[in-house]
Structure 1
Amino acid sequence: MIELGKYASTVLMAYGVSLALLAGLIWQTVSASKRARRALEAQERDG
């Protein structure tokens, strides 16, 4: 692992927060896509 010195905890915390935010954005995008697809299928079916 890269030697981070006295800033190791800060850097690792920043990486952790960044990964968590990225995972949240991916989850939100996939969720919105599924919701939109279901709405479109319902609209086409009832249409």
Structure 2
Amino acid sequence: MWTAIVILLVAWAVLAIVGFVFEGLLWLAVIGIVLFIGTLVVGILRQRVRPSV
């Protein structure tokens, strides 16, 4: 599970960086940041809800 979350976080970070590098793609940076934060929150919440075995 954590592997998928880390891969998504890296993908969103790359989208945000590309969006900031190319000024015309600023919307891409905003989407990347929103998705990065959303994925991070979902990952943290899932870890807290799942009982440790």
Relative to the length of structure 1, the TM-score reads 0.57
Number of aligned positions between the proteins: 32
The structure showing larger relative contact order (alpha-carbon pairs under 8 Å, at least 6 residues apart) is 2
Identity %: 6
Q: Unaligned 5+ residue runs, structure 2?
A: 1-19
Cα distance in 2 for partners of 1:27, 1:14 equals: 20
Cα distance in 1 for partners of 2:28, 2:34 equals: 10
User: Residue 18 of structure 1 aligns with which residue?
Assistant: 36
Relative to the length of structure 2, the TM-score reads 0.51
- Name the Cα RMSD after superposition: 1.9
User: Residue 45 of structure 1 aligns with which residue?
Assistant: none
User: Residue 43 of structure 1 aligns with which residue?
Assistant: none
User: Residue 48 of structure 2 aligns with which residue?
Assistant: 30
User: Residue 14 of structure 2 aligns with which residue?
Assistant: none
Q: Unaligned 5+ residue runs, structure 1?
A: 41-47
Superposed CA deviations along residues 1-47 of structure 1, whole A, max 9, x for unmatched, are xxx42111001101100110000000000101xxx26xx8xxxxxxx
